[in-house]
Amino acid sequence: MAKAAKSKKATPKKAKAKKPVNVTRTIQVDELSRVEGEGALLVRIKDGKIKECKFKIVEPPRFFEAFLRGRSFTEVPDITARICGICPMAYLMGAQQAMEDAFQMEITTEIRDLRRLMYCGEWIESHVLHAAMLHAPDFLGIDDVLQLAATNPEVVESALQLKKLGNDILEVIGGGRAIHPVNTKVGGFYKAPTKKAVRALADRLKWGIDASIELTKLFGTFDFPDYEYEYNYVSLTHPDEYAIVEGDVMSSEGLHIPVREFHKHFREKHVAHSTALQGSLREDGQPYLTGPNARYNNNYKQLTRRCKSLAKEIGLDTVCHNPFKSILVRMIETLYSCEEALRLVKAYEEPDPIFIEAKPRASEGFGMTEAPRGVCFHRYELDDKGLVVNATISSPTAQNQPQIERDLYGVVERSMDLDHDALKWRCEQTIRNYDPCISCSTHFLKLTMIKE
Amino acid sequence: MSLLFLGVGNLHRGDDGVGPYLAHKMAESGVLDSCGVEVLPHSGEGASLIHLWEDQKKVVIVDCMKTGLPLGTVRRFDAVKEKLNSGVFRYSSHLFGLAEATEIARQLGKLPPAMIIYGIEGISFSFEEPRSAEVDAILPEVEFAVIKDFQQEV
């Protein structure tokens, strides 16, 4: 594996220059690149003070929650999976979990393990795409993955193979389709993947462990902008494992609640400059952070020994308050996913039964999983036939949006001495710290029509 | 080594759907069956494109493009000989689409020995918009050219 190319600078490629303070500077990025969906950014600085700082989500809303109404519970996971092509598991499994919660279904350990294995596949492919191919160029002072393929071809080669490994896990379990699997259902799976096909992933996962360690070590040599924030980290937590598919909601400020109480403590509101709702604490309206750093900080002790030792080697402490280092945390989680997937693959036996029968009843169900970019909440109200009466889905990017704006403010405040292009670069890099999935976050917009 | 036809785009986004539409049409009619070509619609996601191209003898791709040329204009790119500019072919997800995948594959020595891309100039890319009449009008010509490309191989 390559060393970081010597000539590469981790700082933006344009030269820094002191700017006089008594001017108005506007940093405007109309179409953010290297993120999923359409977002924009506006920062207005006057006389050295930030007057306006907005992370705009301009992707058209898609009204998923509205058109789920009246649909059968059996269809919901497959419909919600279409919210995202990058993290469909977060929607599919969150919806399944909510239905199973509503109908009080007990899922077997074997089915649960198979779901966890599948989710590891999603973490690997999503984390590697973002960290190695979209975020790493920011730290190397190059424009994109295309240039990365020229300067560090072995990084791109490795990332492509890791991403394929993640996809292949999803395909083996998901019925031949990585993005929108056809083998999953409320209660379990339609068909058990064969032991042969699942066990065949083992050798590639062993390679994946080595490959993710090499990439992580390389990224550990990057220079990281000096920015820390006292975040309120919100993630799932589970007594027995590093939480991915299920758990309680916890915050680093001491909250520990079951998923069904999520909206008692967290709310979403609409702001004019975003088609996505924005998340905040119900109690004081403060933003919070969800995603890799939140999981790492809240659940560090449940990582494997190999992950902890690699984290130490690259200088990551047991807590990480620098959002720019989320690229490292994503890679630690990639290693964790490879290790965890290997453990599950080795232990795999074809589950019997492969699903638990659902018995619909009028009820309310809740679900939450850890999408690669943070917690994804689902709530469904169902009638006695299992048809959806009401649905609420909170995507991780919508929840993170106010915190992203706050961080932008903080980063700009500390980077006033950068020239226009360098500051613009730094702002975009800041947004990419959260791997925002803008398409996911705009599935809902409250529309009020007043007719006179 | 085998032959592959990819119709790239999103079927539900106006002119961007022209690639997958053609792939479905050609798969249903079986027009490429005699040439032994695998026919697939594809979203245009870059990483999976690179993997699909591995071990192919020849790949022909149809995608919608946005370059400012008159609507319905067709451009034929010999991807092995000419470099593609980023942003020609529309793919929103993380800006890693057909053009980027082609250039990365070139850098990594992973381009197939023969790869032809037909770009059809489009204008409408929003959800559930119909394809433009100008795009549909040029389709028979593109289909004919694709068949000819593969017939050379058998």
Model confidence at A94: pLDDT above 90: yes
Residue A52 in any domain: the answer is no
The confidence band for A213, taking pLDDT boundaries of 50, 70 and 90, is: very high
Residue A196 in any domain: the answer is yes
Q: What is the pLDDT of residue A440?
A: 47
Q: What is the pLDDT of residue B87?
A: 65
Range of the domain at A160: 63-441
Residue that is written with structure tokens 């750093």 in the block: A293
Which tops the pLDDT comparison, B137 or B93?
B137
Contact: A160, B103; criterion CB under 8 Å: no
Range of the domain at B56: 2-151
- Span A228-264, pLDDT tens digits: 999 999 999 999 999 999 999 999 999 999 999 999 9
Residue A451 in any domain: the answer is no
DSSP codes, A291-343: SHHHHHHHHGGGS-HHHHHHHHHTT--SS---GGGHHHHHHHHHHHHHHHHHH
> CA A416, CA A242: separation in Å to the nearest integer?
39
Q: What is the pLDDT of residue B90?
A: 57
Which tops the pLDDT comparison, B68 or A34?
B68
Residue A343 in any domain: the answer is yes
- How many angstroms separate the CA of residue A27 from the nearest CA in chain B? 21
Residues 6+ apart with CB under 8 A from A9: A140, A141, A223
> CA A20, CA A417: separation in Å to the nearest integer?
9
Query: Are A163 and B101 a contacting pair, CB within 8 Å?
Result: no
Model confidence at A407: pLDDT above 80: yes
Residue A50 bridge partners (DSSP): A45
Average pLDDT of chain A is 86
Q: Give me the number of domains chain A comprises.
A: 1
Contact: B93, A145; criterion CB under 8 Å: no
Residue that is written with structure tokens 């917690």 in the block: A375
Residues A64-88 have a mean pLDDT of 85
DSSP codes, A198-236: HHTTHHHHHHHHHHHHHHHHHHTTS----------BEEE
Least confident of A236-245, A268-277, B84-93: B84-93
Contact: B93, A144; criterion CB under 8 Å: no
Contact: B96, A134; criterion CB under 8 Å: yes
- How many angstroms separate the CA of residue A376 from the nearest CA in chain B? 20
Model confidence at A152: pLDDT above 80: yes
DSSP code, position A97: H
Q: What is the pLDDT of residue A10?
A: 33
> CA B56, CA B60: separation in Å to the nearest integer?
10
Least confident of A220-229, A335-344, B85-94: B85-94
Residues 6+ apart with CB under 8 A from A75: none
Interface list for A 249-288 with B (CB within 8 A) = none
Which tops the pLDDT comparison, A161 or A419?
A161
Least confident of A135-144, A171-180, A295-304: A171-180
For residue B65, what is the domain's CATH number?
3.40.50.1450
At CA A370, angle to CA A364 and CA A372, rounded to 5? 140
Q: What are the residues of chain B with a beta carbon less than 8 Å away from any beta carbon of chain A?
A: 43, 45, 47-48, 50-51, 86, 92-96, 100, 103-104, 107-108, 126-127
B94 vs A contacts (CB less than 8 Å): 34-36, 86, 129-130, 133-134
- How many angstroms separate the CA of residue B89 from the nearest CA in chain A? 15
DSSP code, position B53: H
Q: What is the pLDDT of residue A255?
A: 97
CA A310, A312, A315, A321 torsion-angle sign: positive
Model confidence at A310: pLDDT above 90: yes
Model confidence at B43: pLDDT above 60: yes
What are the b/e assignments for A303-320, b being 16+ CB within 10 Å?
Answer: bbeebeebbeebebeeeb
- How many angstroms separate the CA of residue A207 from the nearest CA in chain B? 18
Q: What is the pLDDT of residue A18?
A: 44
Contact: A36, B96; criterion CB under 8 Å: no
Model confidence at B95: pLDDT above 70: no
Residue A38 in any domain: the answer is no
Model confidence at B30: pLDDT above 70: yes
B96 vs A contacts (CB less than 8 Å): 129, 133-134, 145
The confidence band for A3, taking pLDDT boundaries of 50, 70 and 90, is: very low
CA-wise closest residue to A390 among A69, A166, A2: A69
Contact: A160, B43; criterion CB under 8 Å: no
Residue A201 in any domain: the answer is yes
> CA B131, CA B62: separation in Å to the nearest integer?
15
- How many angstroms separate the CA of residue B148 from the nearest CA in chain A? 31
Pairing type for strands B37-42 and B2-8 reads: parallel
A124 Rama sector, left if φ>0, alpha if ψ -120 to 50, beta otherwise: alpha
Interface list for A 298-357 with B (CB within 8 A) = none
Residue A12 in any domain: the answer is no
> CA B72, CA B64: separation in Å to the nearest integer?
9
Phi, psi of A144 (to 5 degrees): -165, -175
How large a percentage of chain A has pLDDT more than 70?
A: 85
Query: Are B15 and A97 a contacting pair, CB within 8 Å?
Result: no
- How many angstroms separate the CA of residue B95 from the nearest CA in chain A? 6
B109 Rama sector, left if φ>0, alpha if ψ -120 to 50, beta otherwise: left
Q: What is the pLDDT of residue A192?
A: 96
Contact: A156, B107; criterion CB under 8 Å: yes
- Span B103-119, pLDDT tens digits: 999 999 999 999 999 99
- 3-state secondary structure at position B71: coil
Alpha-carbon B34 to chain mean position: 20
Model confidence at B46: pLDDT above 80: yes
- Which of A280-284, A377-381, B150-154 has the highest mean predicted lDDT (pLDDT)? A377-381
Residues A55-78 have a mean pLDDT of 80
- 3-state secondary structure at position A384: coil
Model confidence at A424: pLDDT above 60: yes
Residue A150 touches partner B, C-beta closer than 8 Å: yes
Model confidence at A14: pLDDT above 80: no
CA-wise closest residue to A427 among A25, A131, A151: A25
For residue A79, what is the domain's CATH number?
1.10.645.10
Gap between the terminal Cα atoms of chain B? 13
Contact: A163, B43; criterion CB under 8 Å: no
